[in-house]
Amino acid sequence: MNFQQLRIVRETVRRGFNLTAVGNALFTSQSGVSKHIKDLEDEIGLELFVRRGKRLLGLTEPGKEVVVMVERMLLDAANIKRLAEQYASTDAGQLTVATTHTQARYSLPPVVTTFKRAFPKVHLRLHQGSPAEIVQMLLDGEADIGVATEAIAAVPELISFPYYSWRHSVIVPVGHPLVEVNPLTLADLVDYPIITYHEGFTGRSRVDGVFADAGLAPEIVLSALDADVIKTYVELGLGVGIIASMAFDSERDNQLVHLSSKGLFPENTTSIAVRRGHYLRGFAYRFMELCSPELTEERVVNSLIVDGSST
């Protein structure tokens, strides 16, 4: 049994049992993948995969249990490497933070600036993606920290902490009729085309839920991944924008008007998450503490205790 065999087993599950895709991901041939799997099965005396001819269709019952152990073994192997790096150099290395565009653009810049001043030798890799992609990166060990509003707090393999709370805001071009409407209501908004976030991003489900609960059906004419795009098309007069409140800057966005939308939309909470069992370097804890002073290393470590042992 060797680590290459374990990586192949894990990757086979991740790639939907497509051995060609596994070979491409691990820079080997399909025949090499098949041989590694067969050698491992012969060594342990178990068939791990359900087969139809040469095709793999899924995991056998013992295969399902083995995959859990494989994931844990590979995670521990990666943790050993991170531990060695920590003791070799406490202030150098790489930290990967997976987050959405909104967080990278509007909430994290002060944190990143302070962090880079404190740890100039750390390569900080900000990966922007959807909440689902952030979760997968954390589960796969490709990211150390995840920051998002959706998805991450509901995954049992992750431990999440509140980062900050925020609400949605309404923006319109200068001179728009809604500027004179006070108080603003949801009924007022549905009289105009709406531009807001894609489904699954930056609290979009909460926005949809508010209108649905009120029995209203807004005409969403354009959706985007980030507030900058939304603001651009609102400036062009294509619709009324609904964006995260922190995305509006009165000096920078001087062609737009921020309308008071108090009471229209519920509060959202952006979370910080890490994978249970994932070893974090000292500077990763410092990054989280810069996000929220309550997230001390002691608190995070205590929350990451799994089965009585600390990560």
Task: Give me the tens of pLDDT residue by residue for the chain, a chain 311 residues long.
Answer: 888 888 888 889 888 898 888 888 888 888 888 888 888 888 888 888 888 888 888 899 888 888 888 888 877 777 777 776 666 566 788 999 999 998 999 999 999 999 999 999 999 999 999 999 999 999 888 899 999 999 888 898 899 999 999 999 999 999 999 999 989 999 999 999 999 999 988 899 999 999 999 999 999 999 998 899 999 999 999 999 999 999 999 899 999 999 988 889 999 999 999 998 888 888 999 999 999 999 998 899 888 764 334 44
Q: Could you tell me which of 274, 271, 269 has the C-alpha nearest to residue 284?
A: 274
Domain with CATH 3.40.190.10 in the chain: 90-165+269-303, 168-266
Domain with CATH 1.10.10.10 in the chain: 3-82
pLDDT on residue 87: 62
Q: What are phi and psi of 90, to 5 degrees?
A: -80, -15
pTM above 0.75, yes or no: no
pLDDT on residue 181: 92
168-266: CATH topology is D-Maltodextrin-Binding Protein; domain 2 (3.40.190)
Strand partners, 13: none
pLDDT on residue 76: 76
3-82: CATH topology is Arc Repressor Mutant, subunit A (1.10.10)
Chain Cα centroid distance, residue 296: 21
Superfamily of domain 90-165+269-303: Periplasmic binding protein-like II (3.40.190.10)
Q: What are phi and psi of 208, to 5 degrees?
A: -60, -40
Residue 294 CB-density burial (10 A; 0-12 exposed, 13-18 middle, 19+ buried): exposed
- Token digits of residue 191: 């009289």
